[in-house]
Amino acid sequence: MCGIFYKSNFYTKTDEKRFIKACNLLNHRGPDDYGFLFNQEHSFGHKRLAIREVLKAKQPMSILNDHLIYNGELYNQDDLLPKLDAPLEFNSDTLLLLKLLMKYKEDILKELNGIFAFVYTHLDEVLIVRDMFGVKPLYYTLYHNDIIVASEMKSILAYTNERVVDKEGLCELLGMGPSHSQSKTVFKGIYELKPGHYLKFKKGQSIEDHTYYQLEAKPFHLNYEETKNRVRYLLDKAIVRQMVSDVGLSTLLSGGLDSSIISTIVAKNKEKLDTYSISYEKSEFKENAFERSKDSDFTHLVSDAIGSVQHDIVTDNKTLVEGLRKVVLMRDTPGMTDIDSSMYYLTEAIRKDHALSMSGECSDEIFGGYPWFYEKKRKLTTFPWIRNLDYKESLLNEKCRSILKLKEYVMKEFDMAIKEAPTLSTDSKTTIRDRQLTYINIKYFMTNLLDRKDRISMESSLEVRVPFCDKDLVDFLYNVPFKYKYKNKTEKKLLRDAYKGTVIDEVIERKKSPYPKSNSKEYHEEVVKLLREVLEDKSSVLYEIFDINKIEDILNSEEELEVPWYGQLMRKTAFLAYLYQIDYWFKTYKIKLEIE
């Protein structure tokens, strides 16, 4: 939606040329307009993607000594407007937010419902805020005691010219990656503001980190029918209010339950709808425990039923391979390999005709759709999507194994995470486990998917909204018993029943299938070729981290990894591509490795 860049001038004067150059790295986030403001105490940069009030709402927005740079959308403007003493001069959630902050300061944050990241200043006071679930990114660092804040790390890296990965960063990259621990990044000294948190910073004082939103455990008394109706009401409301824009709207349609619900409701409230799906060239479908059916068998059924114009986007293997490098530059780190590069190809196609789209992300985390929620009800002992950790650790060279202690690092983060999960004293052991699992999925797995969605779609200057990540819906579902969500041995039965009769039966009955990945032999061979070329260079950072003989063994073997090394689908080809991305990232970003 937008890109923001900020630096305080309390201790060091801003180099305005360098600031503008660093902010310009966010041009893809805001191709429609830009603005800079430099005063004695603050430096602001803004890149705008105009979705509402296209000709107004310029940023930075200022009223006397109050300034705001903002990336996001408020979905409950009608509820917030009466809190002001007078009507707005024009219809803008930026202006609304600025006036609310001037009147209420941080006390207004708990009233907001939307996706946002912003910096607000009043005289020498700085307020830095991120939305409840981390839909919009926000990073910060201390630089000679001043604070620098940006939508993407690339702007911080460009201004400070400090690019160091230390022991903790490697643990994030190899242990938690491609997800990450709360507040941490792979770069030394750069932090991500936690979702639902805000920072206060004032000259002469240290940074204060505060929580303004957190999930809350409450007793639940509704029966199944009442719960189903409430889900339908909350999700319908979220979808419709997120449709509001002054530009065209499209949807991502996989033919799965989540995207089909969104597309169906949007189509009911819109005269014409374009829907988009992604598939892979020369990729043979292979049914497995996670993938039970092809998306293409369902997308046209849904499109025909709702009357949308369906666009089938097919990515070729050359594009996927080239994308492995491009997406590293988008995320500023290695990521989810071909799943990322195909998403970029899809968003580029959508952006030719639309600046706004909707996606079904976040449903599985709140409705318990992943297999680890319901399969065998095994004891919760680690992050269930971080797979093969012992195996990954065994691939490190002796020095890195002894220094990093990957498993110990990941388990420390996991133990802290499950202790944070809100519970009731009356909860059973099973209910506590269900709450803990939901909590860590929202705080870790979901944020990784949201990071990916934002960084890749915004590279295409495409805003993608996620109605399942609505505050009211998530708050409600955190307390819904899992026996309602998983019923009759059917995942997300509650959601299926809520939309039975609205969404076509074929989709209501379809087994969950994740975002598709390539199964092309040609793509695999290209990845192997790239990694072999990397290993010819003995100065590659891979030699500093891994036992290269073991990496060579994987390259030479035709055996598949027994279980994914991350998530549901990331097996051997994805792991090799991740190694390739690590090498490319270190070389391109000129990163210094500190693990002594």
Which candidate, 30, 17, 31, places its Cα nearest to that of 69? 30
Measured CA to CA, the distance from residue 341 to residue 571 in angstroms comes to 16
Q: Phi-psi category of 189—alpha, beta or left, where left has phi over 0 and alpha has psi -120 to 50?
A: left
Owner of token pair 């910096």: 119
- Copy the structure tokens of residue 326: 């491009």
Owner of token pair 């801003």: 14
- Copy the structure tokens of residue 100: 């609310």
Owner of token pair 């349609």: 253
| CA 463 vs CA 252, 253, 274, 348, 435: distances in Å | 12, 16, 15, 12, 31
Which helix (H) or strand (E) is 450 found in, with range?
A: helix 446-459
Which candidate, 518, 511, 568, places its Cα nearest to that of 256? 511
Measured CA to CA, the distance from residue 581 to residue 394 in angstroms comes to 20
Pairing of strands 164-166, 191-192: unpaired
Please identify which of the residues 2, 23, 362, 469 carries the catalytic annotation: 2
Which candidate, 310, 307, 289, 23, places its Cα nearest to that of 148? 23
Are the CB atoms for 546 and 397 separated by under 8 Å?
Answer: yes
Measured CA to CA, the distance from residue 6 to residue 19 in angstroms comes to 9
Pairing of strands 2-8, 146-150: antiparallel
- Residue 584's contacts (CB-CB under 8 Å, 6 or more residues apart) are 324, 325, 328
Alpha helical stretches, state H, 200-256: 224-242
Question: How many CB atoms are located within 10 Å of the residue 194 CB?
Answer: 18
Active-site residue flag, 23: no
- Copy the structure tokens of residue 14: 């801003």
Three-state secondary structure call for residue 118: strand
Which candidate, 539, 540, 549, places its Cα nearest to that of 579? 540
Across-strand partners of 191?
140, 184
- Farthest CA pair distance, the chain: 70
Are the CB atoms for 321 and 576 separated by under 8 Å?
Answer: no
- Residue 86's contacts (CB-CB under 8 Å, 6 or more residues apart) are none
First to last CA, the chain: 41
Are the CB atoms for 384 and 372 separated by under 8 Å?
Answer: yes
Q: Which active-site residues does the annotation give?
A: 2
